[in-house]
Amino acid sequence: MDQSLCMNGGEGRASYAQNSFVQKQVMSRAMPALQETLGELYLASVPECLKLADLGCSSGPNALLFLREMIDSIDAMRKKLNKKEPTFQIFLNDLFNNDFNNLIRSIPSFYEELRREKGGDFGPCFIAAMPGNFYGRLFPDHSLHFIHSSYSVHWRSQALANLVSEFGSPLNKGHIYLARTTPKSVHEAYLDLFKRDMTLFLKSRSEELILGGRMLFTMIGRDATVNLSEDQVSNIYELLGMTISDMVQEGLIEEEKLDDWNMPIYLPTPKEVRHVIQKEGSFHITRFETFKRSARPEMGDDDLQMRGKYAAATIRAVFESILTTHFGEEIMDGLFEKFASKVSHYMKLHEGEYFNILVSVKNG
């Protein structure tokens, strides 16, 4: 994962920067929780230098959008309390292959905008990149006040491999993620990996945060209360798997490549998330919400073909790097064209939605 995963870099048509509106909507939905969490943190103690981190920041406008919101929240609060503006030290984290160059190039205009809008008594604000894997330690002991992470912790630390029956046949045959016909043992392997990853994530963050420090994260989850009809899929990755399976039938992809591979993501239920936080034990949950966001285009386009293309571009910007590593670059254009058409077809009958989980926790 350290070597192969990155969102599509740059600012071109296929980039994450241009295809992350769903993630932006989720981030905007989390803003009231962000303001509340920062407010409680600031009222509990007013440090001279606030140390904050965004984990899995990627590149593109969303990373700076979140920084701006955080700075504005603190600024509004300190004005209300008639306090001096704190210094900000903000770390942007992602895996080593992330397009940090693009992100860092946008920092001067961000500083400039802050200076222009907030005037001379603001900050200073120091932004730094902190590349590394968040399933492990990234920062010194008790050095941070607040950690944020949006749409990142549903990524797993590895792709599950060698899931075979006692006779050596692949257990998740014909799929790239959990699908209706996936056997229980594969669900269990995914859940087990999720628990191990999240336990390490929580333990690492609790060591990095000060006592009383706060963390807010959102992730894609799974609504266990929904009963799907026969023609519904449980998630958009099932449709992607079906597209790859069609390409196997057409002789464009080797069957073993599909059968051997399981996507390194897991969409947990709210109960699974609560359980892992409580079992790990470092954090106290202060806010826990679920909400849905539509997979419709940002312009609210009802044209089904456009909706399919839009969903495919969103998924491509996120998954192209790991799909290329496994299946090869030459099939990518064809795969996402077919996928867009499958999504449009599906959306004729069903609304595409992401089910999200938002959690705010306090250390200690």
Ligand X SMILES: C[S@@+](CC[C@H](N)C(=O)[O-])C[C@H]1O[C@@H](n2cnc3c(N)ncnc32)[C@H](O)[C@@H]1O
The CB-nearest residue to ligand X is 56
Instruction: Examine residue 194 and tell whether it contacts ligand X (CB under 6 A).
Output: no
- Encoded one letter per residue, x for contact with ligand X by CB under 6 A and - for no contact, window 281-320 reads -------------------------------------x--
Instruction: Examine residue 6 and tell whether it contacts ligand X (CB under 6 A).
Output: yes
DSSP string across 160-228: ----B-TTS-BTTTT-SS--TT--HHHHHHHHHHHHHHHHHHHHHHHHHEEEEEEEEEEEE---TT---
**Location of structure tokens 């004005």:** 79
Please state the closest distance from residue 131 (CB atom) to ligand X, in A.
8
- Report helix, strand and coil shares of the chain as percent, to nearest 5: 45, 20, 40
Strands (E), the chain: 49-55, 87-93, 125-129, 144-150, 209-220, 283-294, 353-363
Q: Which of 8, 15, 19, 20 binds ligand X (CB under 6 A)?
A: 20
Strand partners, 155: 265
Q: Which is nearer to ligand X, 133 or 341 (CB)?
A: 133
Pairing verdict, β 209-220 and 144-150: parallel
Instruction: Examine residue 57 and tell whether it contacts ligand X (CB under 6 A).
Output: yes
Please state the closest distance from residue 121 (CB atom) to ligand X, in A.
30
Instruction: Examine residue 62 and tell whether it contacts ligand X (CB under 6 A).
Output: yes
Binding segment for ligand X (CB under 6 A), chosen from 91-99, 116-124, 239-247, 298-306, is 91-99
Instruction: Examine residue 56 and tell whether it contacts ligand X (CB under 6 A).
Output: yes
Q: Which is nearer to ligand X, 247 or 357 (CB)?
A: 357
Instruction: Examine residue 216 and tell whether it contacts ligand X (CB under 6 A).
Output: no
3-class state of residue 145 by DSSP: strand
Binding segment for ligand X (CB under 6 A), chosen from 56-64, 176-184, 302-310, 345-353, is 56-64
Please state the closest distance from residue 45 (CB atom) to ligand X, in A.
27
Q: How many positions of this chain bind ligand X (CB under 6 A)?
A: 23
- Encoded one letter per residue, x for contact with ligand X by CB under 6 A and - for no contact, window 129-168 reads ----xxx--------------xxx--x-x-----------
Cα–Cα dist 155/268, whole Å: 11
Strand partners, 215: 147, 361
Cα–Cα dist 155/331, whole Å: 23
Q: Which is nearer to ligand X, 152 or 243 (CB)?
A: 152
Cα–Cα dist 44/336, whole Å: 49
Cα–Cα dist 343/79, whole Å: 48
Instruction: Examine residue 5 and tell whether it contacts ligand X (CB under 6 A).
Output: yes
Residues that bind ligand X (CB under 6 A): 5-7, 20, 23, 27, 56-58, 62, 93-95, 98, 133-135, 150-152, 155, 157, 318
